[in-house]
Chains A and B, each alone.
Chain A
């Protein structure tokens, strides 16, 4: 159904973006895998994860050609932007990744000021959830309701449920815009 790479600096919570997405997939009855990068894959300053959402058995847990690339820093964008599938899309945190650059020509590129919006909202750790909201909006991978439900269940299991998560999701869902 879709293969996603989420990348950024360690500490931005981008791996959790992928993890929430995977958990939504599980709740929606899909075959799902989530895999982190580690070791030499992390050279160059990126932490990234592969998420696979599928109706069929998952093959390789590592995504090589993503349908969606979700990045919160420039190195992650540079590392993966040329692997995105032709019918795929790129989503960036435009408070960190510049938008006035050349992106792969044929691809739609979306942006949300995730880090900036999170600060303004007084939830600096919520930038990754803003990215999630934006991804759901641009991809339609899940309905808004299903995505929020899955996200809240994820945080409930972690004992970190709060209305702030929904607020961040809303910010991403409503403030994402198309760059290219």
Chain B
């Protein structure tokens, strides 16, 4: 059967992301899920500042931006006000695991029925590719660790998804975008996060390993290969927790 791919309804602007960046793919997956689940009319887009910010205008939804790292709190305020709306967060790893880790921990603890998508590309993309304390790998060169991240002065990255999944909330899983298979799997994870919200279940956290070719100084193909071979080895692609019983993989 021949399927014609078309742009999801709620994407209204060409995305301004760099070539090979995962943000645009994620935006598209979100828009497809909203459309397929029939919840576009109820969705509110909560974006962190930094690169995800571009989806504020890219998506034909009401949206809200920043402050940096505070989106779990912002989304809590919105969801408590409009419990029937579908509230999702599109944020980076720096926002979610570093400056905003307190907010991320507490939305897990409060189990607020919000869908949070964390784009883990291991760097601070918007500000020029500095180290992201939670996710930049040891040895990885960034603009703030030009000779590579070293453990003695910068500490080591950690698997925040695994750490957070000990708390009592609905769903935690990690996906990636380096192949069609992984993109489709990631879409199912995001869709699951939205379904949980539709079913008035608790908080869903989906981390997506994403490439940042610009700041990694790699071609899009090489960058995606790095995600597959290096990053995914450090941050496993799996479902960490699912109260509803979604099977791994």
Report if A and B touch in the complex (beta carbons < 8 A).
no
